Structure 1
Amino acid sequence: MRYLSFLSTFIFATRVVAFPAYASLAGLSERELNAIIPTLGAREPAPPPGPLPDTSAKLVNDAAHPWKPLRPGDIRGPCPGLNTLASHGYLPRNGVATPAQIITATMEGASQSVIPDSSFVPDVHMLY
């Protein structure tokens, strides 16, 4: 049991070291957390977007979505698919997107035309 506890702590610690932006509340004392958490307001998310009107095959690397390199201040996470969508302009190029934008981008850029498949992506990325 001790080994499992150490292993799980090590696994989560390496993720925090690899992606420090995801450790925003890590390392805070209980008193600091108790002061901060009530100020974090919960919001009702917008409903997911509907299906695209055109679900036929399309060229993804087109003139409307050229690849552009990162600019200073742009954010990228651990998902290569979402990073590609942001670099091609399907998502905001700064890397900050809403769940609805992520769903629409995966339907347009990754040809995931079935909403349950594309709506799974933002749900999974909430776990990172």
Structure 2
Amino acid sequence: MGEEILQGESMEEILQGEAMEISLKDLSKKLEEFAKARDWEKFHSPRNLLLAMVGEVGELSEIFQWRGEVDKGLPNWEESDKEHLGEELSDVLLYLIRLADICGIDLGDAAAKKIVKNAIKYPPKVTF
């Protein structure tokens, strides 16, 4: 696929692990373009996207299923396991972004507002 993938990043650069900054809006636009190019929009109802995301959450859960508790940063994991985890996390994120977009929700804005609400609801404990 020789086309540019994300804001000037080629597939080869992405696969080589080049760091890049990308916004939720950029991802949303790329997901919309991806679906349009494959004529998948007809399948992207809120229900279908939610069920697909739940399936991906299941795949994500399988990675942790028999590992017990794991240390922050996953220091004892193989790189291939971390790569697989990143792929499954990405699948969940991409379906979530697409679902929000199809439902007309600005996910970045909604998340920022939710953080503010949570800060009010759960203020830090003050110790003297």
* TM-score scaled by length of structure 1: 0.21
Which protein has the bigger helix share? Answer: 2
Structure with the larger RCO, 1 or 2 (CA within 8 Å, 6+ apart): 2
TM-score computed with the length of structure 2 as normaliser? 0.21
